[in-house]
């Protein structure tokens, strides 16, 4: 889409000066919003760079008098998450092992489901879609106990596979929604033409739909990765020693009822735990736009 | 295909995790002690466990005073994969026993003579229908006042021994522009102050009737109205920004001299100590006005598990938890006092000594009482219902009479 | 491939997902419904005792508060996040040179776990530590911002933090939508001299209906499940003024050992969601299928 405000073809009577002022105003507004979004991060970063002594005596929301990276080091490799004081490090891999397959599988299923619901309508397809959508709303607190039973019966209790399974199941509603909503805007004539040419169900998906899907794959991956990486409730309920994800470790560092609180380590740990998701946002964000442009050229 | 590789890798990790244990006693221990000092304290137990040939698998889940750990525990039990030993306390132990999932550790308890080493009230919590089903770790006292020595001296105030004295001192501090009571407005902290006030005003017998027997007459008595009246006064003694404040930030206010008193269990001592403050010199400790002693005892319960290695692990763990060395080292770290009464207290500080003396006295005169606010006196549903009323009253302008009425209804509704 | 197979492949591919949803969503809802008629405490029991749990629920003042809060929080959170997300997306779409950076700034809150971000917000919103004390420090002594500690207004601070967390993702969805609108149509409209605001309101925004559906579902789902947010920011307080059904249910089930009560609250909550979401889904899906 083109921008209108600076577009010389746009038939506005506003002069150049007004246009420039307008753009500055726009930028100013965007920056003000950026401040709102950055405020907590500012507090977290500054706190993580302070010593505990300074936190105890000074204002909680002020710049550090003396910058120290000790808290970061502690959070990564020294903070106690139980008897072991190895920081977040050991839990990091568990989260990767859970999140990567779970995101991949739920995105794959979502793409197939969305493709079917948008272009291979059969009787009841819409009902199935509605039921899947409503499934998004089930509160996870309700799921824990019966799910524990089922995982026990499947022999997946406390395992990484069990957690992958749970995340894939409860991600289906959203991934299907995203793909379906994206695929409905692809003209049905395309499918009909391909069918006439003799292409089958999988062939059409593979050579027509998949190449067009980059933007929505990026949106889905961002969503699923965030949800799964940041999940605590499933992680704490369906893991055991050795399979606990990073959020459980983060919680163990942060949430102590009767112990001494080390806010600097807490904040550093929180930022470290969020780095993979942030990484996904920065990288995917780029492809997000690129993919969209590419998509619109082909479409 | 790629995905099979990933899954294979994932299952390999899971497999390793479940088979690293070798023969010999083994235990997977679910607990919520994860902060620096606490973790160090439990590490002592792990060390002793492995010195005795055991394999300890750590399963820490912190948060909400054990709420998150209890969530994990339910899921683990329902999936038929219960941890070997679990940090549990108060009537929750008996509740889990009634579900038929706890193991019997009477053999160890009898061999080690627990009956005579523990105060009767505390031993009672460790038994389920006559059998021993849990091992106590420590005794936290809840009804403490922590005070800034300098602030009191500067304002000519001595430690209060009645609630009237407390109020007089607080009024004087208010006039001098100092916040009398450092408090964090979280439900459990409100409940902690409430039960200290209740113990002082109702007395030990009244406290027992109200918060253990849930006796309706006591819950609606004039004395209970007086308790809420005092709570309303306390509300006036906290600063304007107390809502949601963590307890340790309230402790810091006392440390910095912004506030004079804090009512909190003896884990608050850890914060003072961590900041290099000295008991008796920089900060003072005294029990809240009135007789009695409110305890909060941490303990471990053993869950029914299959396998001789795990059963051996449970026996060994139970024995070590009640061992003299662990009881001493753990409690030195944690700010509490040992549950068994024959541990030498030479290395403990003056507040711990006071706590120990008071526990002995109150044990002999029957005023050694379980803390309701910390889940020692009542089942979760009942204590939760009471806390709802306490915190609703404290954070609104509800009258004491209304609060008492609400209290009775809430207790009835929680049955 | 036989004709029959070709016709039924889509159904067979969809079947596993559908079966999973049937069992793990609807099966579990049925299970919860059953439990809500029992006296389950610490662990589920299956002996039916009638509607006691619902009676207990409806006389509980705390549940009253929780349900009210869901309406206040849910409505404000969804509406504000959508409006903010749309505005940000439209503004970012004006060929802003720093778009990449700004987009990441708006999006990053989603990446952070509320377990800790809640603490940062708690400090910012606390009158003695955060905004109020900073502004007063600048010399505006009468400035007051004490919502967090005021039982009447505390729920709005939860909205502030919630919007902060979710609106960036909504912005991303809308941005994706804006960029996929057919440029030819817009060019044609411009040539016809239709004003920009009118192009947005009459052409672009209506064409993004599926995006609105997605954002609504995403936001409603977050609103209903808001749990970490409340626990970390207010802990449900002051008192239980910011309790939500999700926190009520969790407290009952897991910290109070009152699973029957938790199940009844879950059922009521799902009925409410059903009553709001189903008509919306119906109208959205029908509009596109006629």
Helices (H), chain A: 16-48, 52-57, 70-77, 89-119, 125-135, 140-154, 160-183, 188-196, 201-204, 210-212, 214-230, 233-237, 246-254, 263-298
Q: Name the residue ranges covered by the structural domains of chain C.
A: 1-31, 61-289
Length of chain A: 299
User: What tens-digit pLDDT sequence spans chain A (299 residues)?
Assistant: 444 444 444 444 557 888 888 888 888 999 999 998 998 898 889 888 988 878 777 676 678 888 888 888 888 887 777 777 788 888 999 999 999 999 999 999 999 999 999 888 888 888 888 888 888 888 888 888 999 999 999 999 889 999 999 999 999 999 998 898 888 878 888 888 988 888 888 899 998 888 888 888 888 998 899 899 988 889 988 988 888 999 888 888 887 666 667 888 888 998 999 899 888 888 887 777 666 555 443 33
- Contact check, Cβ <8 Å, C266/A142: yes
Check whether residue B148 and residue B273 sit in a common domain: yes
| Nearest by CB: A57 against B6, B256, B334 | B256
- Contact check, Cβ <8 Å, B241/C127: yes
Nearest 5°: CA angle at A98, between A94 and A104? 145
Q: Is B365 a member of any domain?
A: no
Q: Is B239 a member of any domain?
A: yes
Cα separation of B228 and B397, whole Å?
A: 11
Interface of A with B in 231-260 (CB under 8 A): 233, 236-244, 248, 251-260
Check whether residue B289 and residue B328 sit in a common domain: no
Domain-terminating residue out of B353, B384, B400: B353
> By residue range, what is the domain housing residue B346?
25-140+296-353
Name the 3-class secondary structure at C195. coil
Q: What is the ipTM of this complex?
A: 0.85
Cα separation of B132 and A183, whole Å?
A: 63
Q: What b-and-e string marks burial along A229-268, b requiring 16 or more CB atoms within 10 Å of the CB?
A: bbbbbbbbbbbbbbbbbbbbbbbbbbbbbbbbbbbbbbbb
- Contact check, Cβ <8 Å, C233/B244: yes
Check whether residue B247 and residue B379 sit in a common domain: yes
Q: Name the residue ranges covered by the structural domains of chain A.
A: 16-68, 89-298
Q: Is B5 a member of any domain?
A: no
- Contact check, Cβ <8 Å, A59/C288: no
Cα separation of A118 and A125, whole Å?
A: 9
Q: Return the number of CB contacts < 8 Å for A and B.
A: 178
Chain A residues within an 8 Å CB radius of C254: 141
Check whether residue B290 and residue B320 sit in a common domain: no
Fold of A89-298: MetI-like fold (1.10.3720)
How far A84 CA sits from the closest chain C CA (Å)?
A: 21
How far B260 CA sits from the closest chain A CA (Å)?
A: 16
Check whether residue B132 and residue B147 sit in a common domain: no
pLDDT bin (cut points 50, 70, 90) of residue B17 is very low
Contact (Cβ atoms closer than 8 angstroms) between residue C99 and residue C92 = yes
Is some CB atom of chain C closer than 8 A to the CB atom of A256? Answer: no
* Closest-CA residue to B372 (of B89, B112, B106): B89
pLDDT bin (cut points 50, 70, 90) of residue B15 is very low
Check whether residue B253 and residue B396 sit in a common domain: yes
Q: How far is CA B123 from the centre of its chain?
A: 16
* Closest-CA residue to B304 (of B292, B296, B314): B314
| Nearest by CB: A241 against B7, B43, B59 | B59
How far B226 CA sits from the closest chain A CA (Å)?
A: 30
User: What tens-digit pLDDT sequence spans chain C (290 residues)?
Assistant: 567 777 788 888 899 999 999 999 999 999 999 999 999 888 888 988 988 999 999 999 999 999 999 999 999 999 999 999 999 998 888 877 888 888 889 988 888 878 778 878 888 888 877 788 778 878 888 888 888 888 888 899 999 999 999 999 899 888 878 877 777 788 888 888 888 888 888 888 887 887 888 888 889 888 888 888 888 888 887 888 899 999 999 888 888 888 999 999 999 998 988 888 888 777 777 655 54
Most C CBs within 10 A among A55, A108, A141, hence the mutation to make, goes to A141
Q: Render pLDDT for B219-275 as a digit per residue (tens, 0 to 9).
A: 999 999 999 999 999 999 999 888 888 888 899 899 989 999 999 999 888 888 878
CATH code of residue B250:
3.40.190.10
| Nearest by CB: C43 against B77, B394, B395 | B77
Nearest CA in chain A to B82: A240
Please tell me the total count of domains within chain B.
2
Most B CBs within 10 A among C60, C136, C147, C239, hence the mutation to make, goes to C239
C121 class by beta-carbon count within 10 Å (0-12 exposed, 13-18 middle, 19+ buried): buried
Parallel, antiparallel or unpaired: strands B144-148 and B55-60: unpaired
How far C74 CA sits from the closest chain B CA (Å)?
A: 22
Chain C residues within an 8 Å CB radius of B390: none
- Contact check, Cβ <8 Å, C108/A174: no
| Nearest by CB: C172 against A60, A219, A274 | A219
Chain B residues within an 8 Å CB radius of A261: 35, 246, 248
How far A180 CA sits from the closest chain C CA (Å)?
A: 9
Chain C residues within an 8 Å CB radius of B77: 43
Task: Quote the tokens at residue A33.
Answer: 């919003």
Task: Quote the tokens at residue A297.
Answer: 């050229």
Check whether residue B154 and residue B198 sit in a common domain: yes
Is some CB atom of chain A closer than 8 A to the CB atom of B364? Answer: no
Chains in touch with A (≥3 Cβ pairs < 8 A)? B, C
Q: Render pLDDT for C23-66 as a digit per residue (tens, 0 to 9).
A: 999 999 999 999 999 998 888 889 889 889 999 999 999 999 99
Q: Is B362 a member of any domain?
A: no
Fold of C61-289: MetI-like fold (1.10.3720)
- Contact check, Cβ <8 Å, C88/A30: yes
Q: Residue B176: count other Cβ atoms within 10 Å of its Cβ.
A: 14
- Contact check, Cβ <8 Å, A267/C120: yes
- Contact check, Cβ <8 Å, C214/A2: no
Check whether residue B267 and residue B386 sit in a common domain: yes
Contact (Cβ atoms closer than 8 angstroms) between residue A166 and residue B75 = no
Check whether residue B290 and residue B301 sit in a common domain: no
| Nearest by CB: B413 against C60, C146, C251 | C60
Q: Render pLDDT for B132-182 as a digit per residue (tens, 0 to 9).
A: 999 999 999 999 999 999 999 999 999 999 999 999 999 999 999 999 999
């Amino acid at each position: 889409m083109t921008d209108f405000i600076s577009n010389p073809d746009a038939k506005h009577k506003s002069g150049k000066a007004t246009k420039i002022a307008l753009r500055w105003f726009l930028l100013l507004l965007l920056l003000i919003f950026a401040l709102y979004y950055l405020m907590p991060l500012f507090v977290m970063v500054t706190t993580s760079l302070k010593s505990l002594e300074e936190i105890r005596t000074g204002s909680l929301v002020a710049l550090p008098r003396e910058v120290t990276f000790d808290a970061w080091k502690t959070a990564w490799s020294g903070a106690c998450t139980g008897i072991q004081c190895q920081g977040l490090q050991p839990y990091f891999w568990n989260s990767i092992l859970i999140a990567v397959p779970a995101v991949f599988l739920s995105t794959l299923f979502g793409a197939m489901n969305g493709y079917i619901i948008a272009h291979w309508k059969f009787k009841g397809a819409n009902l199935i879609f509605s039921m899947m959508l409503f499934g998004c709303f089930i509160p996870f607190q309700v799921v824990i106990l019966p799910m524990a039973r089922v995982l026990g019966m499947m022999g997946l209790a406390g395992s990484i596979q069990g957690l992958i399974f749970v995340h894939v199941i409860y991600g289906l509603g959203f991934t299907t929604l995203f793909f379906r909503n994206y695929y409905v805007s692809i003209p049905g004539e395309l499918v009909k033409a391909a069918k006439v040419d003799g292409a089958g169900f999988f062939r059409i998906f593979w050579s027509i739909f998949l190449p067009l899907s980059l933007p929505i794959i990026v949106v889905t991956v961002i969503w699923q990765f965030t949800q799964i990486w940041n999940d605590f409730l499933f992680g704490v309920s369906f893991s055991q020693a050795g399979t606990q994800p990073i959020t459980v470790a983060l919680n163990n560092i942060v949430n102590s009822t009767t112990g001494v609180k080390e806010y600097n380590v807490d904040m550093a740990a929180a930022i470290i735990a969020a780095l993979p998701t942030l990484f996904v946002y920065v990288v995917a964000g780029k492809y997000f736009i690129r993919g969209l442009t590419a998509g619109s050229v082909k479409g | 295909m790629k995905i099979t590789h990933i899954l294979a890798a994932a299952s390999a990790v899971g497999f390793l995790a479940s088979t690293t244990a070798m023969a010999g006693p083994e235990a997977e221990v679910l607990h919520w002690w994860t902060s620096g000092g606490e973790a160090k304290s439990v590490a002592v137990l792990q060390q002793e466990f492995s010195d005795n040939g055991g394999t300890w698998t750590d399963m820490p889940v912190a948060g909400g005073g054990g709420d998150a750990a209890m969530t994990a525990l339910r899921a683990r039990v329902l999936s038929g994969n219960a941890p070997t030993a679990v940090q549990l306390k108060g009537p929750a132990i008996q509740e889990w026993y009634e579900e038929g999932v706890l193991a019997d550790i009477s053999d160890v308890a009898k061999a080690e003579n627990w009956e005579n080493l523990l105060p009767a009230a505390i031993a009672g919590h460790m038994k389920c229908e006559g059998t021993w089903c849990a091992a106590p770790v420590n005794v936290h006292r809840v009804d403490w006042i922590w005070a800034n020595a300098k602030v009191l001296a500067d304002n000519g105030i001595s430690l209060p021994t009645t609630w009237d004295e407390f109020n007089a001192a607080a009024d004087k501090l208010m006039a001098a522009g100092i916040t009398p009571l450092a408090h964090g407005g979280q439900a459990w902290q409100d409940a902690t102050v409430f039960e200290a006030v209740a113990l002082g005003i109702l007395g030990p017998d009244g406290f027992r009737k109200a918060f253990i027997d849930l006796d309706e007459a006591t819950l609606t008595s004039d004395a209970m109205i007086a308790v809420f009246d005092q709570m309303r006064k306390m509300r006036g003694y906290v600063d304007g920004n107390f809502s949601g404040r963590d307890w340790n930030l309230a402790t810091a206010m006392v440390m910095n001299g912004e506030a004079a008193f804090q009512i909190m269990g003896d884990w608050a001592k850890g914060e003072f100590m961590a900041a290099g403050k000295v008991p008796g010199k920089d900060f003072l400790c005294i029990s809240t006005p009135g007789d009695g002693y409110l305890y909060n005892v941490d303990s471990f319960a053993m869950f029914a598990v299959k396998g001789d290695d795990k059963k051996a692990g449970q026996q060994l763990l139970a024995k070590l938890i009640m061992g003299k060395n662990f009881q001493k080292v753990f409690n030195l770290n944690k700010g509490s006092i040992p549950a068994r009464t024959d541990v030498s207290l030479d290395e403990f500080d003056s507040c711990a000594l006071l706590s120990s003396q008071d526990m002995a006295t109150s044990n002999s005169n029957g005023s050694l009482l379980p803390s309701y606010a910390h889940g020692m006196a009542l089942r979760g549903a009942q204590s939760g219902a009471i806390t709802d009323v306490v915190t609703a009253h404290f954070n609104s302008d509800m009258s004491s009479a209304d609060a008492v009425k609400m209290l009775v209804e809430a207790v009835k509704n929680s049955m | 491939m036989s004709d029959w197979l070709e016709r039924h492949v889509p159904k067979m591919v969809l079947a596993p997902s559908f079966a999973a949803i049937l069992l793990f969503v609807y099966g579990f809802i049925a299970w919860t419904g059953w439990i809500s008629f029992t006296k389950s405490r610490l662990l589920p029991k299956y002996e039916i005792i009638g509607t006691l749990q619902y009676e207990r629920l409806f006389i509980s003042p705390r549940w009253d508060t929780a349900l009210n809060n869901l309406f206040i929080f849910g409505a404000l959170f969804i509406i504000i996040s959508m409006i903010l997300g749309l505005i940000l997306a439209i503004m970012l779409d004006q060929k802003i040179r720093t778009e990449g950076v700004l987009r990441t700034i708006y999006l990053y809150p989603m990446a952070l776990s509320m377990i800790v971000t809640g603490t940062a917000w708690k400090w910012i919103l606390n009158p003695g530590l955060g905004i109020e004390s900073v502004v007063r420090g600048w010399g505006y002594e009468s400035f007051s911002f004490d919502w967090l500690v005021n039982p009447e207004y505390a729920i709005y601070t939860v909205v502030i933090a919630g919007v902060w967390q979710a609106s960036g993702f909504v912005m991303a969805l809308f941005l994706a939508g804006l960029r996929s609108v057919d440029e030819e149509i817009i060019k044609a409209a411009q040539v016809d001299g239709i004003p920009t605001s009118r192009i947005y309101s009459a052409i672009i925004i209506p064409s993004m209906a599926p995006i609105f559906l997605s954002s609504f579902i995403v936001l409603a789902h977050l609103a209903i499940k808001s749990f970490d947010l409340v626990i970390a920011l207010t802990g449900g307080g002051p008192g239980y003024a910011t309790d939500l059904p999700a926190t009520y249910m969790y407290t009952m089930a897991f910290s109070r050992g009152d699973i029957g009560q938790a199940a009844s609250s879950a059922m009521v909550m799902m009925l409410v969601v059903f009553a709001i979401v189903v008509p919306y889904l119906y109208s959205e899906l029908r509009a596109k299928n006629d």
